[in-house]
Structure 1
Amino acid sequence: MRGRLRLLAGHEMRALHSLWLWVRGRRHAVPDGALAVAYTGPQTAMMYGLLFVSVVETVMLALLTPWPVVRAILLVLDVYGVVFVLSTHAACVTRPHVVGADGALRLRYGARFDLRIPAGAVTGARIERRFPDLGPMAADADGVLDLVVGGQTSVTVELAGPVEFVRPLGKRGQAHSVRFHADDPAAVVAALTRWERSA
């Protein structure tokens, strides 16, 4: 239990740091010569809608709650909710997937997930739009890892061998192939294919 709480606290701290990066217009760990791959397109409207609802709720509860102590508690909780939504979206914006200058692939989902695939480990990449009925991250018994954004994935990557990944709450798994979303899947596939051919 303590380990999970530490992991959740770490996610929160990274998300808040991402909010600071977002305000400054910067990205996390995108080196020179690397391709930054955005993946927030399918969820952006939903996140801003959620933010709008959170702000309206904060204002309405502040106006309608007659008890000062209750109002103060609700205000703190609602402001935290607004910050949480903003920082979650900021983490996805400022922590894109990355195709490195050496062909390595780094897949992320905000501050909660980070998978590094070494250069040379990718044996195939293709555009493949899928709409799995899954949560943000799921792995099946065949070793296929899905990173779902807005109910979809758009790129499938085949690997030379299994890579280990860590789920947001610390459980480990192995993947032989990965499906993930990219706003510009053609650019990702082109970059990975170029490195695969030159290897």
Structure 2
Amino acid sequence: MRGLSFVTVPFLLVRHELRLLASLWLWAARRTDGAAAGGSAFGYSRGQGAMLFGFGFVCVIETVMMSVLLRDWPTVHHVVLVLDVYTVVFVIGLHAASVVRPHVLDPGGGTLRIRQAVHLDVRIPLERIASVRRELRTTHERVDGELDLAVGSQTSVTVRLAEPVTHVTFLGRRREVHVVRCHADDPGGLVRAVERAREGHAVP
């Protein structure tokens, strides 16, 4: 991948795993990351919880079955067991990261943070928002300048920008985006809150 070294990619992967583990701790402690005083948090994890826990259950069943099948090969069994257990932890960590890192509206700071677990965090200044509306989409085509953050294959809020913002991908690539689509458990509440914040942040 152009612009990425053999050192950078492992570093990004390790950082991602550490953030997932930190999310598990925050989830257990019932804490939220990034919700500043005076800000409002808007969750988006409800749409994927059942799917991820279903996948986690399948992984647990696979772990048990592989333990039975590999009981006569202890070395292979131990290696596979570690990988299977880590997969279960990874799946739970993905859900935990979505729970503890919600979208955050900070009227005092004049920003809307659109997030997706530990993979993405886009900060949008309120003055750059041209419009925000509730819009349910279940299909998304990749279009230059648009960012679709689907949860459970759907987005429910569309934010259009008067000026683009820079989105940094998981591997560090920078993209200019002028449309951001995301999902929220309460899309109407998020839209109304952003509209009120824009009105309060508008320059007389």
In which range does the TM-score fall when normalised by the shorter chain? over 0.9
SS in 2 for 1:126: strand
Mapped contact 1:124–1:196 kept (Cα < 8 A): no
* 1:151 matched residue in structure 2: 153
Matched AA of 2:114: L
SS in 1 for 2:107: coil
SS in 2 for 1:43: helix
Mapped contact 2:157–2:181 kept (Cα < 8 A): yes
Mapped contact 1:131–1:153 kept (Cα < 8 A): yes
Task: Return the alpha-carbon distance in structure 1 between the equivalents of residues 134 and 45 of structure 2.
Answer: 17
* 2:13 matched residue in structure 1: 8
* 1:49 matched residue in structure 2: 54
Matched AA of 2:79: I
SS in 2 for 1:188: helix
- State the shift of 1:33 in Å: 1.9
Task: Return the alpha-carbon distance in structure 2 between the equivalents of residues 161 and 121 of structure 1.
Answer: 5
Task: Return the alpha-carbon distance in structure 2 between the equivalents of residues 185 and 74 of structure 1.
Answer: 42
Instruction: Give the alignment partner of residue 184 of structure 2, picking from 173, 182, 185.
Output: 182
Task: Return the alpha-carbon distance in structure 2 between the equivalents of residues 167 and 121 of structure 1.
Answer: 20
1:70-124: CA deviation from partner (whole Å, max 9, x where unpaired): 1111111111111111111111111001111324100111111111112322221
Matched AA of 1:168: F
- Give % identity: 47
Give the gaps of 5 or more residues in structure 2.
1-5
* 2:92 matched residue in structure 1: 86
Mapped contact 1:155–1:182 kept (Cα < 8 A): yes
Please state if 1:161 is matched with 2:166: no
Mapped contact 1:28–1:94 kept (Cα < 8 A): yes
SS in 2 for 1:105: strand
Instruction: Give the alignment partner of residue 134 of structure 2, picking from 104, 107, 127.
Output: 127
Mapped contact 1:92–1:111 kept (Cα < 8 A): yes
Please state if 1:101 is matched with 2:103: no
Give the gaps of 5 or more residues in structure 1.
none
Mapped contact 2:128–2:164 kept (Cα < 8 A): no
TM-score calculated relative to the size of structure 1? 0.93
Please state if 1:73 is matched with 2:75: no
Task: Return the alpha-carbon distance in structure 2 between the equivalents of residues 7 and 69 of structure 1.
Answer: 30
RMSD: 1.3
Mapped contact 2:164–2:178 kept (Cα < 8 A): yes
Task: Return the alpha-carbon distance in structure 1 between the equivalents of residues 191 and 167 of structure 2.
Answer: 21
Instruction: Give the alignment partner of residue 25 of structure 2, picking from 17, 20, 34.
Output: 20
Matched AA of 2:122: L
Please state if 1:194 is matched with 2:199: no
How many aligned residue pairs are there?
Answer: 194
Task: Return the alpha-carbon distance in structure 1 between the equivalents of residues 131 and 140 of structure 2.
Answer: 24
TM-score calculated relative to the size of structure 2? 0.90
